């Protein structure tokens, strides 16, 4: 049986199955910050078990505590491409007594029984245009990740 010498100066590296604490800042194509944990507590993630994007996990695996990394997730692997067929125009009368405004969010019932959130992107005197794309659809997202701690 082989014995492996362990160098005490070797830093522990994150691997699949580890529970870690991390901070992240998510930026879209034009460097606009869309989410960040920097002003909050770090989030807890178990690599390989939580529903973390595989590209992000691959960027974390091998990192050591207090190490940082940037991972860009292309639109196709993030929230998908922007789809023009997810933009709908309704007659204003279909909103009954409601007065929708640009930016309002509605839950739409799909024909397959599912639901999707859609936001009002335009309103005229007679029509309302709603976009059911995710707000980040069609955008590459760069995650600046800081591995705070490997818990186990």
Burial class (CB in 10 A: 0-12, 13-18, 19+), 74: exposed
- Render pLDDT for 58-70 as a digit per residue (tens, 0 to 9): 999 999 999 999 9
- Please tell me the total count of domains within the chain: 2
In whole angstroms, give the CA distance from residue 112 to residue 106: 18
pLDDT at residue 9 in the model: 55
Q: Provide the pLDDT for residue 13.
A: 95
Specify whether 32 is located in the same domain as 75. Answer: yes
Is residue 68 located within the same domain as residue 143? Answer: yes
* 12 inside domain: no
CA 113/CA 77 separation, integer angstroms: 25
pLDDT band at 110 (very low <50, low <70, confident <90, very high): confident
* Residue 95 in this model has a pLDDT that exceeds 90: no
Mean pLDDT of the chain: 90
Domain range enclosing 113: 84-131
How many helices and strands in the chain, by DSSP H and E? 1, 9
Please say if the pLDDT value at position 52 is more than 90. no
Is residue 94 located within the same domain as residue 145?
no
Mean per-residue pLDDT, 90-116: 89
């Amino acid at each position: 049986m082989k014995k492996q010498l362990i160098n005490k100066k070797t830093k522990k590296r994150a691997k699949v199955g580890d529970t870690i604490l991390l901070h992240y800042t998510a930026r879209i194509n034009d460097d606009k910050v869309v989410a960040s944990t920097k002003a909050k507590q770090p989030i807890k993630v178990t690599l390989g078990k939580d529903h973390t994007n595989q590209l992000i996990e691959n960027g974390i695996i091998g990192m050591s505590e207090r190490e940082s990394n940037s991972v860009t997730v292309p639109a196709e692997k993030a929230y998908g491409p922007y789809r023009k067929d997810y933009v709908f125009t309704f007659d204003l009368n279909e909103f009954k007594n409601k007065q929708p405004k640009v930016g309002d969010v509605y839950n739409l019932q799909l024909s397959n029984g599912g639901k999707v959130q859609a936001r009002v992107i335009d309103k005229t005197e007679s029509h309302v245009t709603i976009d059911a794309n995710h707000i980040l659809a069609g955008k590459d997202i760069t995650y600046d990740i800081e591995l705070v701690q490997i818990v186990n």
